[in-house]
């Protein structure tokens, strides 16, 4: 049974309990440990979310079997003082992360001194990567500033996460209508930077299967699963993306954490495939950044 949730809505506890019980026969995935590459701290700008308090978020992740979570900040979407956003993120991960949270700072190349924001992420906060929101920050991926950003990230061996979308168009606030990122220019960027590691986040409701194949063939493009839909969705994804490029991501707390867990449980993948997606691919990607 798949857990079906309306866009922008959280399921009732009864629905989650029933779905989890029906999945109980998949004992081989019950004890998976995971690296979650798509978690956010702070507050979504349009409303409060369950578990948007960092200690509660960390406890929920730990109970689910997540051993490491790559965390960005919702403040990075609209705040202009990006240096302060990243300082708060780094402090929250250190002070409240219980050794689980790994910060990925925001960089907005349309703001003055954005290069220094990137430098601080790498040098001062020792972040392994950055998280970009091009649609909220108002630049396309063929903008020369984006190319410069990729060059600097590549030089510092930073992982670059790109959030393709943040919210279903049907639930967006009328003053926050934001289109998904157009990823076509990314193919040439990847070809020009063969060592650059890029994670496409919140992308699998948007990217066509042929686009996934093109990005995977162009360079080191990775895809996290939070927005993969459909019965057997992971099996379908692996028809277009290599196994070692698929990562576990929940987009928690915006999405319900159990939604991502059920994507693993309902799949018909072999255990070695589940282990690769759940943690091994992310661990290897992180080791390359180190």
Q: Are 216 and 203 in contact (CB under 8 A)?
A: no
pLDDT of the residue at 29: 46
Has residue 11 got a pLDDT over 50? no
Q: Domain for residue 4, yes or no? A: no
- Per DSSP bridges, beta strands 101-106 and 66-73 are parallel
Q: Domain for residue 26, yes or no? A: no
Whole-angstrom distance, CA of residue 144 vs CA of residue 131? 18
Has residue 263 got a pLDDT over 90? yes
Q: Band of the pLDDT at 288, cuts 50, 70, 90?
A: confident
CATH number at residue 184: 3.20.20.140
Q: Domain for residue 13, yes or no? A: no
Has residue 4 got a pLDDT over 60? no
**Average pLDDT along the chain:** 90
Write the pLDDT tens digit of every residue in 201-227: 999 999 999 999 999 999 999 999 999
Type and span of the H or E element at 210: helix 209-218
Neighbour-count burial for 112-137, b at 16+ CB within 10 Å, e otherwise: eebeebbebbbeebebbbbbbbbbbb
DSSP 8-class letter at 53: S
Has residue 2 got a pLDDT over 60? no
Our CA angle for 277, 70, 117, nearest 5°, is 135
- Beta strands per DSSP E along 125-242: 129-132, 159-163, 197-201, 220-224
Query: To the nearest 10°, the Cα dihedral for 107, 108, 112, 115?
Result: 30
Type and span of the H or E element at 67: strand 66-73
Q: Band of the pLDDT at 290, cuts 50, 70, 90?
A: low
Q: Band of the pLDDT at 129, cuts 50, 70, 90?
A: very high
Whole-angstrom distance, CA of residue 263 vs CA of residue 228? 8
pLDDT of the residue at 194: 97
pLDDT of the residue at 76: 98
Q: How many domains does the chain have?
A: 1
Has residue 183 got a pLDDT over 60? yes
DSSP 8-class letter at 90: H
pLDDT of the residue at 236: 93
Q: Domain for residue 25, yes or no? A: no
DSSP 8-class letter at 68: E
Total-model pTM? 0.89
Whole-angstrom distance, CA of residue 156 vs CA of residue 118? 10
Q: Which residues span the domain enclosing 243?
A: 33-289
The pLDDT > 70 percentage for the chain reads 89
Q: Domain for residue 8, yes or no? A: no
Sheet order of strands, 66-73 included? 34-41, 66-73, 101-106, 129-132, 159-163, 197-201, 220-224, 246-247
Has residue 153 got a pLDDT over 50? yes
């Amino acid at each position: 049974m798949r857990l079906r949730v309306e866009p922008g809505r959280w399921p009732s506890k009864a629905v989650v309990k029933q779905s989890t019980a029906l999945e109980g026969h998949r004992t081989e995935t019950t004890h998976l440990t995971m690296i979650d590459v798509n978690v956010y701290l702070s507050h979504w700008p349009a409303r409060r979310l369950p578990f948007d308090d960092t200690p509660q978020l960390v406890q929920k992740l730990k109970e689910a079997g997540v051993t490491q979570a790559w965390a960005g900040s919702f403040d990075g979407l609209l705040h202009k003082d990006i240096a302060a956003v990243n300082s708060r993120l780094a402090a929250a991960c250190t002070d409240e992360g219980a050794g689980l949270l790994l910060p990925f700072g925001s960089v907005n190349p349309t703001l003055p001194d954005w290069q220094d924001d990137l430098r601080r992420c790498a040098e001062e906060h020792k972040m392994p990567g950055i998280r970009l929101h091009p649609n909220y920050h108002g630049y396309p991926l063929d903008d020369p500033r984006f190319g410069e950003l990729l060059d600097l990230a590549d030089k510092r061996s930073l992982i670059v996460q790109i959030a393709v979308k943040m919210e279903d168009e049907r639930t967006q606030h009328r003053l926050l209508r934001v289109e998904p990122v157009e990823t076509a220019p990314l193919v040439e960027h990847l070809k020009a930077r063969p060592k650059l590691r890029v994670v496409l986040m919140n992308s699998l409701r948007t990217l066509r299967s042929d686009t996934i194949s093109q990005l995977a063939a162009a360079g080191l493009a990775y895809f996290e699963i939070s927005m993969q839909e459909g019965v057997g969705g992971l099996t379908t994804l692996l028809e277009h993306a290599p196994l070692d490029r698929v990562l576990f991501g929940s987009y928690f707390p915006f999405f319900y954490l159990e939604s991502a867990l059920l994507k693993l449980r309902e799949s018909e993948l072999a255990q070695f495939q589940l282990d690769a997606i759940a943690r091994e691919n992310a661990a290897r990607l992180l080791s390359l950044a180190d």
